[in-house]
Chains A and B, each alone.
Chain A
């Protein structure tokens, strides 16, 4: 209860902070500038107009795009087979004439265009496949822009590279970075597993944008040995792996939420050894009993088949 009250107080204080910030923002609003807006006319010479100013010396590297798929002119779907730079950045005559950032789709977070408006340029070509469910997805509804994650001008988009992808996701999900630094993890920190191995960032009807419809179906893509069905199922295992495991990282071994026997004793309380309080007296030199239930694997020393058993005598998950 004390925690709950502290939580309420912290949130109340934070709410005050937020509203102060809002009030300050509204109070500090500058006088209205001329309304920004995309032009309607295209430039005279297409990319040759743009690249006069946006040279190779431009602070943001422009030219690596010519090594990317978007610049493969033989593929008639690509920007450079059509409206070139303006296929994505919008009609550029107004920007070319004024050099105003408020006359072109810069794709920057500071753009006068909302994330949704910027994304439309991408979705014109990329609405299919995994993006069918983009609209209404958690990322879309929280104003994530395609360019928040994708870098179109780089030869290799980091978010599509196995070792580099997690860094992109951590920018908005720093807690996950902390999780993947814990002692027991899935090997994302080691560059051999990606976030998109389990999550569909462009939308999914499953919880946490999972790649498969349920948690378990997602886990089975790498842990097919746990799929079963088994003769003797362990009910929470069949229901949801996260009843006992956390997906990203844990200070406890094998991504467990707790270590046995307390983990198991949250649900197993039958008279006899499962209901006994195993205390520090069971540790080596502690002078008490219960070491077999506490040390090494704890409950797993005997009930090793916690994921289910297909043995006719595996009723107690011991065969």
Chain B
């Protein structure tokens, strides 16, 4: 669809505003009250300082990276519990709020906000977050955490089984810690105007896994993470009765202290004398700057238009590494010393909404997203895994994408409790240097929402999408070529059916029930090779019951299936193998809260059971057995109690038990030397059984 057509459509819709305006009636209002009598004597305004502080301790029975993945409780032993909330209200709208949480954990945070309400605001934020990735990775490399990995005596060897691993493997934790410090301020010089600025400085440090290969011999490696990301938001905004606007700047600057990871080749490389060390490029420094504007305008009381545009530029100009560390190779000079990479982005949207009548509401929107990769193209001589100069040069392909999207929607209130809705979406994506120049997707959908005597809300929605591609051809310059029968699924012809039902039932004043069902089916019927179909089914429900004025019960559950089918060709011809993936995910949760002694003792319990199963089947003419199932299960029980000793002092106690098991055939039984040509970490699929007890005292002031 041409842009002009889309804009005409919007223009037509905006003319509806005139009719809508004519139908409007001014809202009735009585005489302004005499506020001198409104003393607010019964209002309990609170000035001064108030808040609470909580201190205590927790004990974790066992160390587990998976249990502590994001909660800061990865190691066994004792932890300090510390939380603080404080608020201050002073004269002339002066205020401060201080919130400090998890002070004894690696997830500690501090948020301070203050100023004079209605005039200016100051912000200070600090947040730590450690992610534990693995506590079972082993490596013989020396220097883990740094940019250069070397090997002890005895390397290299022809295969992993011949390597001196017994005395050289060391366990290395994979984890990263983010620390973000933010400062901000906003200023309201007049009621309708606000200016704001926010700056965030984040460091991320630690070690993660990666891998490097010399042709067919590979090693899992530990790479350093030492990143700094600075982000700045600044904005000026205006909010009038009819017109609202915002002008903003967003900037991001990312830098990595380690531009590369060098590792010594643990494998012998007969015939390639210089292939003794390799070098991986680590993420290059980059910057992104974006200006954006947002506009909202009330064309009439029933009709509103909004528009926004964001124009950005991302750059990356990190100095290139040498094509190889192999000094025996003669590699032609690089065409440039750095990429001079540049991506220009434009994201725009214009939208009109109109309640044409009391029953009919219309919406039209046009969306434009453009990633214009202006990175210069050059032709590079390159080296295959530090072993030999590749026989053919390669030119880089700076991918660009342009999306045009139109959305039309109508909502009609068919009866007091029945609303029907329907819509049409057109979505076009243009790509450069890829197999498909343009994909176009048309979607139609309908929705019915009803309310049954204030007690039952039902919503039913069905959507049908049809995506068509312009044509599919091999990308020039990419060698070797893909199977001509392949259709990459993000740019393949596709039909998609999707249905959804939701029901919210207030069965009684003390009982509420929610049910959600949705299912979808994707059909890539023109794809002989690649992803050919996908299905998803989800059924969830929850029930909340107030068993008495002292006891509440909450039960929720969810069942999900995600399936897909794909085909391949070992003969590089028509399909000669197929595979299916089926993931089943089950979740059950039960929570109960009980006031055991009014105003004194509250107790509660939460139980969660999560189970997943991944069934993978690869079918060939050889009729080989299926893969073992991928499985995980997590059982968690939390018990907690709060006992109020005095009005302002309470004791808290908690117990938490969690049991996790997993089977993953990609890891199970795979020791560092199991694969003769891949030196792996020998990681274990996570398993844990952890008990946590915690006690604390909370003082309110």
Interface residues of A (CB under 8 A from B): 3-4, 7-8, 10-11, 14-15, 17-18, 21-22, 24-26, 28-29, 39-48, 51-52, 63, 66-67, 69, 71-78, 80, 82-84, 91, 93, 110, 127-129, 131-133, 135-136, 141, 162-163, 171, 174-175, 177-178, 181-183, 187, 189-192, 205-206, 213-214, 217, 220-221, 224-233, 235-236, 238-240, 243, 251-253, 258-259, 262, 265-272, 275-281, 283-285, 288, 291-292, 294-298, 300-302, 304-305, 307, 309-316, 318-319
Contact = CB atoms under 8 A, between A and B. Distances in A.
A45 to B, nearest CB: 6
Contact of A22 (B93, B418, B628): B418
B616 interface: yes
Contacts of B570: 275-277
What DSSP secondary structure best describes chain B's contact surface? strand
A284 B627 CA distance: 12
Nearest to B419: A143
Contacts of B572: 269-271, 275
Given A3-B521, A310-B316, A77 B118 contact: yes
Contacts of A84: 38, 40, 43
Contact of A129 (B210, B237, B280): B237
A71, A129, A224, A309, most chain B CB atoms within 10 A: A224
8 contacts: A46-B39, A47-B43, A141-B363, A205-B308, A231-B396, A232-B396, A280-B626, A310-B281
Interface string B396-437: 111101000000010100010110000000000001011000
Given A229-B339, A291-B675, A25 B450 contact: yes
A184 B529 CA distance: 29
A22 B450 CA distance: 6
B386 to A, nearest CB: 8
A183 B566 CA distance: 24
B218 A181 contact: no
B14 interface: no
B373 interface: yes
B177 interface: no
Contacts of B520: 7
Interface in B291-350: 294-296, 304, 306, 308, 310, 312, 314, 316, 318, 320-324, 334, 339, 341-343, 345, 347, 349
B456 A21 contact: yes
B351 A270 contact: no
A311 B194 CA distance: 45
Interface in B346-380: 347, 349, 351, 353, 361, 363, 365, 367, 369, 371, 373, 375, 380
B599 interface: no
A229 B229 contact: no
A89 B677 CA distance: 72
Given A129-B246, A280-B624, A66 B680 contact: no
Contacts of A132: 239, 244-246, 294-296, 306
B443 interface: no
B399 A233 contact: yes
Contacts, number: 501
A230 B448 CA distance: 46
Contact of B367 (A129, A205, A224): A205
A266 to B, nearest CB: 5
A74 B92 contact: yes
A231 to B, nearest CB: 5
B357 to A, nearest CB: 14
B697 to A, nearest CB: 20
A275 B568 contact: yes
B281 A309 contact: yes
Given A40-B30, A71-B45, A136-B353, 13 more contacts: A14-B499, A25-B451, A44-B37, A75-B117, A110-B454, A132-B306, A136-B351, A177-B558, A205-B367, A296-B670, A296-B681, A304-B212, A315-B380
Contact of A294 (B118, B283, B541, B666): B666
A301 to B, nearest CB: 5
Contacts of B62: none
Contact of B624 (A69, A226, A279): A279
Contacts of A10: 499, 517, 519
A70 to B, nearest CB: 10
B382 A312 contact: yes
Given A233-B397, A310-B318, A312-B380, A221 B117 contact: no
Contact of A226 (B129, B283, B668): B283
A284 B674 contact: yes
A47 B43 CA distance: 7
